[in-house]
A and B are shown apart, each in its own frame.
Chain A
Amino acid sequence: MQINLRINHENIRAEIDPDMTLQKFLRSQKYFSVKCGCETSNCGACSILLDGKPVLSCSVLAARAEGHEIETLEGLQKEAEEIGGFIADEGADQCGFCNPGYIITAIALFKENPDPSDEEIKIWLSGNLCRCTGYEGQMRGFIKYREWRNGR
């Protein structure tokens, strides 16, 4: 079947299988920031924005994205660099495989709530698993990013 949607502000028309997940579709279109860590909606590595809200692309059918606006980290490079720099300064990027997923979720969080509490950050990102860092370093990065934003 054919779908029409917008990906990173570009109109895309593509031929898909009706049972294809959005995660598989986006990777097939070479949006490689969209990772796959589980396929069972448990890890958050496939997080993307659908109409500005974070969703797990492995749990959405591509067909359901018809007419919607999708954003992946490829389309949010400036924002990713801005937040990411604070994570990098903590050394909390580690293996990096979970990074695009939680960075895009954090971008959405700070867009919605520019001054989230520590607890709000934790809850927003709780669906994004990381096996390398123990989360503490990512949290230090987010707190410093928040301070920097507030002081700007």
Chain B
Amino acid sequence: MKELKSVNKGFRKKDAMQLLTGKPVYTDDLVKEPCLIVKLLRSPHANAIVREIDTTEALAVEGIEAIFTYKDIDQNQERYTIAGTSFPEYAPYDRLIIDRHVRYVGDVVAIVVGKSEKCITKAMKLIKVDYEVLPAVLDFHTALDNEILVHPEDNWSAPANFGADVKRNLVAANCSSHGDIDEVLSKCKYVIDRTYHTKANQQAYMEPFTTYCEIDSYGRLHVISSTQIVFHIRRIVAKALGIPGSYIRVTKPRVGGGFGAKQTVVSEVYPAFVCYKLKKPCKIVYSRKECFIASSPRHEMEMHVRIGADENGIIKGIDLHTLSNTGAYGEHGPTTVDLSGHKSIPLYGKQEAFRFTSEVVYTNKQASGAYRGFGATQGLFAVESAVNELASLMKVDPIELRLKNIVKEGELMPAYFNEPLTSCTLDKCLLRARDMIGWKEKGQRRVLDNGKVRTLGVALAMQGSGISGLDVGSATIKLNEGGFYSLLVGSADMGTGSDTTLSQVAAEVLDTDIEHIHVFSADTDISPYDSGSYASSTAYVTGKAVERCALKIRNMIIKTGARMLQADPSECEFDGHKVYCGERSVTLEEVAFTSVIGSNEAIEATVSNSSKTSPPPFMAGACELETDLQTGEVKVIEYVGVVDCGTPLNPNLTRIQTEGGIMQGIGMALTEDVTYTDKGNVVENSFMEYHIPTRLEVDKLWVEFEPSYENLGPFGAKSIGEVVINTPSPAIQEAVYQACGKRFYELPIKAEDIVASQKK
């Protein structure tokens, strides 16, 4: 294979210095003045009907421009979903811009528009709302067939058939299986049967939801937003407002983190509606509190796992049932739950049977959405914790047990939609992680002189690379006068560095420096179609589109060069600078010039790409904890991660992705809690209560790669973004068990619970 010059090199991100020197590149930095401010009056009740709302006094406040209530929205119109997924949508149509029936604490009661935050705050206090407060469903165990219906309305509908039954609070129900799991488990010598619970973690992107809207010079609605999904916003806003998509343009500037949160149209509809109504520019910036109480956190899930092994330590089957809490609205509900089984069960390749059943229910809590890992994180916490417990039961080493059982390249994965495993180095990842953490030398448990306990834990993870047969990534490349290239994509670099890695792919094919590739993302009027940056799709799906597009451009350059040299293209070569035919040559600049002067042929191409399969990336993670059994304090001494993401497109950026994902996983395991009061209020509604890891929590992260080569990916690449969040919670759960002798089946694992476990 040719030596790589751009791909697999640790280039700086193309936008790095702009970001590091604090340039105005985010949505709220780009707002043109004057600009109206939009704020939302939110329900204090978990379930209520707005009997009457009086805005007279509020409207009289100086500076208030307009107040919209349910009276401004046709309550009988077709509902819509704000989940950013390809059409036809999976999620139920259950939203209105303002619904007279409010379904969680934080649901929108009124949209208030004014010249300043100050006047809006004043006006909000003067809006008089008379609520008919209804009893609420807050415990998701009791949601199914509860007499309280979260969505009793008649205009609820589900575009896709996921077994929803709104009259039962059921958003989706699914079952898939292979072989006879009950029979297989009944014959197993060792069976673990446990129930695990994970809560609604917050993505905690640093840039809050921010959207700015204006009417552009052509009279169209221009939505500028911090988002992962420009094209889905166009469709969803069009449906919500009842206007044609052709009237809407959506642009994404730099995005200050998304992690899936911005795969839902959380903030866009409100200012779009206001701007369309008033024909004036306006913006909405969510407070951090709103990000915590009224956005799109991880789905709370409860997973019942049964896993069995025979006397030789062969894992024979896994039976998983997942109950998922989608909250008051169904965004991403039917899809996230799927990953809890389909991206955990396939890790073990010798199973004779599996069964995966699931139910997704409505409750009167904040609606859930997409968060890095998208259900796989929850499922892997359950399955990997169960595998660790199985090893304990069998009195074998959890790494040895896994080495015996993990899926191997070339195998078919029944629980992964029967896709073949085309690339995998999971065994190498696990062996390397074992050595890096010092598994053999240290042993899983040792007591320090000061009485604290050092313990080790391990876990595996997988994810996908885009959604098979559905996700589309596209690239447009143009050769410009002067001999440099423009690369246009519709995927959203939300900090991942995809603008840079995609440029590296183009530069590799075109034999040029990445400085000569000028990348732009994303704008619905300019970028070629992309389903968006989610489902770990950008590197693999859009990356391949870029590779194929660059090849096409390469051939066009050769063709034009050949014509200039009066030669046949088959006799010509291109080295990135010149097109040669034997001794004779023309420069790229000359080719570019020819293509724009008196030319009938542009050197410009657009290529779309979709993949029939979704090759999984893999990861092995291992941790060393230091636990103080007296205080329950747990310190992560070291976390090691070894990843198979195929070819790392940019090793620096894949490393940072991995480190960041591990840190988020550590937060999920130990500090990040979401609890509700009995009235349905989120308790952890600021960074004061919702503890994401700081610089002081973890001593050392150590990440390495064991690249496989995925033939279907660009230069062998698979995805990286999501798989990396999945190992910490099961690995830490195991290490905590090693320390205190008690297994915790709910996250986060808190100091007080560890202390309590020591009381006889």
Chain B binds chain A: yes
Chain A residues with CB under 8 Å of chain B are 17, 30, 32-33, 35-40, 42-43, 45, 72-74, 77, 80-81, 83-85, 87-100, 103-104, 122-123, 125-137, 139
If A95-B495, A129-B687, A134-B660 touch, whether A81 touches B17 (CB-CB below 8 Å) is yes
Docked Cα-Cα span, A21 to B325, in Å, equals 39
User: In the complex the two chains form, is A131's CB within 8 Å of B204's CB?
Assistant: yes
Tally of A-B Cβ pairs under 8 angstroms: 178
- Beyond the given pairs A84-B16, A93-B16, A128-B695, 11 more chain A to chain B contacts, judged by CB atoms under 8 angstroms and listed by A's residue number, are A32-B23, A38-B687, A40-B688, A81-B20, A85-B17, A85-B20, A91-B497, A99-B20, A129-B687, A133-B660, A134-B693
Task: Say whether chain A's binding surface is mostly helix, strand, loop, or mixed.
Answer: loop
Between A and B, 30 residue pairs with Cβ closer than 8 Å are A38-B686, A43-B288, A72-B22, A77-B21, A84-B21, A91-B10, A91-B497, A91-B656, A92-B656, A94-B656, A95-B256, A95-B494, A96-B20, A96-B25, A96-B495, A97-B207, A97-B256, A97-B495, A98-B206, A122-B696, A126-B694, A126-B696, A129-B687, A129-B694, A130-B206, A133-B660, A133-B663, A134-B663, A135-B695, A136-B659
CA distance A91 to B119 in the complex (A): 42
- B24 touches A (CB below 8 Å): yes
Q: How large is the interface on B (under 10, 10 to 19, 20 to 34, 35 or more residues)?
A: 35 or more
Partner of A122, one of B18, B26, B650, B695: B695
A103 touching B663, Cβ below 8 Å:
no
A residues less than 8 Å from B612 (CB atoms): none
Is B692 close to A, CB under 8 A? yes
Are A91 and B659 touching (Cβ within 8 A)?
no
A88 to B12, CA, bound (A): 6
Q: In the bound complex, what is the Cα–Cα distance between A43 and B291 (angstroms)?
A: 14
- How far, in whole Å, are A81 and B696 apart by their CA atoms in the complex? 26
Would you call B656 and A97 a contact (CB within 8 A)?
A: no
Q: Which of A37, A93, A125 contacts B208 (CB under 8 A)?
A: A37
A35: chain B residues at CB < 8 Å are: 26, 206-207, 256
Contact indicator A37/B22 (Cβ below 8 Å)? no
Residue in A81, A83, A134 whose beta carbon sits within 8 Å of that of B659 in the complex: A134
In the complex, which of the residues A37, A83, A135 contacts B207, with contact meaning CB atoms closer than 8 Å?
A37
Query: Nearest Cβ in chain B — how far from A19, in angstroms?
Result: 8
Min distance, Cβ A70 to any Cβ of chain B, angstroms: 14
Nearest-neighbor residue (CB-CB) of A27 within chain B: B28
Judge if B652 is at the interface, Cβ distance under 8 Å. yes
Assess whether B656 is in contact with A132, with CB atoms less than 8 Å apart.
yes
A42–B687 CB distance below 8 A:
yes
Q: Among residues 8 to 38 in chain B, which have CB atoms less than 8 Å away from a CB atom of chain A?
A: 10, 12-13, 15-26, 29
Which 10 interchain pairs have the tightest Cβ spacing? A95-B495, A33-B22, A96-B19, A97-B256, A84-B20, A91-B652, A42-B687, A134-B663, A100-B22, A134-B659
Chain A nearest CB: distance from B670 CB in Å?
Answer: 14
- In the complex formed, the residue of B with least CB distance to A83 is B20
Task: Confirm or deny: B454 has a beta carbon within 8 angstroms of a beta carbon on chain A.
Answer: no
B13 surroundings in chain A (CB, below 8 A): 88, 91, 93
Secondary structure type dominating chain B contacts: loop
Query: In the docked arrangement, what's the CA distance between A90 and B660, Å?
Result: 13
Q: Does B687 contact A87, Cβ atoms closer than 8 Å?
A: no
Residue of B nearest to A102 (CB): B695
One of B21, B29, B655, B663 near A91 (C-beta < 8 A): B655
CA distance A42 to B696 in the complex (A): 14
Write the B624-655 contact mask toward A (1 if CB under 8 angstroms, else 0). Answer: 00000000000000000000000000101101
Give the interface centre of B17, B20, B700 by most chain A CB atoms within 10 Å: B20
Chain A residues in 8 Å Cβ range of B695: 122, 125-126, 128, 135, 139
- Complex Cα–Cα for A39 and B661 (A): 25
Task: Please tell me if the beta carbons of A131 and B257 are within 8 angstroms of each other in the complex.
Answer: yes
B666: nearest chain-A partner, CB-CB: A134
Say whether B659 contacts A131, CB under 8 Å: no
Q: Are B22 and A99 in contact (CB under 8 A)?
A: yes
Task: List the B side residues contacting A122 at CB < 8 Å.
Answer: 695-696
**Interchain CB contact under 8 A, B20 and A93:** yes
Whether the Cβ atoms of B22 and A133 lie closer than 8 Å is no
- Chain B residues closer than 8 Å to A95, beta-carbon distance: 19, 205-207, 254-257, 494-495
Instruction: Report the minimal beta-carbon distance from B333 to chain A, rounded to whole angstroms.
Output: 24
Chain A proximity of B341: nearest CB distance (Å): 28
Q: In chain B, what residue has the closest Cβ to A74?
A: B22
Q: B287 within 8 Å of A by Cβ? A: yes
- B70 interface hit (Cβ, 8 Å): no
Is the pair B206, A45 in contact by a Cβ cutoff of 8 Å?
Answer: yes
Please give, as numbers and ranges, the residues of chain B lying within 8 Å of A104 by CB-CB distance: 22
Which of A83, A84, A136 has the most chain B CB atoms closer than 10 A to its own CB? A136
- CB nearest neighbor in A for B12: A88
Min Cβ gap B181→A in Å is: 38
- Residues of A with C-beta under 8 A to B285: 36
Q: How far is the CB of B273 from chain A (nearest CB, A)?
A: 24
Cβ distance A39 to chain B, nearest Cβ, rounded Å: 6
Q: How far is the CA of A145 from the CA of B12 in the complex (A)?
A: 16
In whole Å, how far is B410's beta carbon from the nearest beta carbon of chain A?
A: 33
- Least distance between B760 CB and chain A CB atoms (Å): 37
Pick the contact of B15 from A73, A80, A96 — CB < 8 Å?
A: A96
Across the interface, do B259 and A131 meet the contact criterion of CB distance under 8 Å? yes
B431 at the interface (CB under 8 A from A): no
Closest-CB distance, A48 to chain B (whole angstroms): 11
With a cutoff of 8 Å between Cβ atoms, the chain A residues found around residue B650 in the complex are 91
Q: Does B51 contact A (CB under 8 A)?
A: no
Is B206's CB under 8 angstroms from A129's CB?
A: yes
Contact with A along B678-712 (1 / 0, CB 8 A): 00000000111000111110101100000000000
Given the known interface contacts A91-B10, A122-B695, A137-B659, the answer about A131 and B205 at a Cβ–Cβ threshold of 8 Å is yes
Q: Which residues in window 199-253 of B have CB below 8 A to A?
A: 203-208
**How far, in Å, is B231 (CB) from chain A's closest CB?**
21
CB-CB < 8 A to A85: which residues of B? 17, 20
> How far is the CB of A52 from the nearest CB of chain B, in Å?
18
* Chain A residue at smallest Cβ distance from B22: A33
Residues of A within 8 A of B17 (CB): 81, 84-85, 88
Please measure, in the bound complex, the distance between the C-alpha atom of A37 and the C-alpha atom of B17, giving whole angstroms.
21
Cβ B26 vs Cβ A97 within 8 A: yes
The yes or no answer to B662 lying at the interface (CB within 8 A) is yes
A40 near B288: Cβ-Cβ < 8 Å: yes
Q: Are B497 and A103 in contact (CB under 8 A)?
A: no
Question: B187 near A: Cβ within 8 Å?
Answer: no
User: Which of B22, B254, B655, B696 has most A Cβ within 10 Å?
Assistant: B22
User: Is the pair B701, A134 in contact by a Cβ cutoff of 8 Å?
Assistant: yes
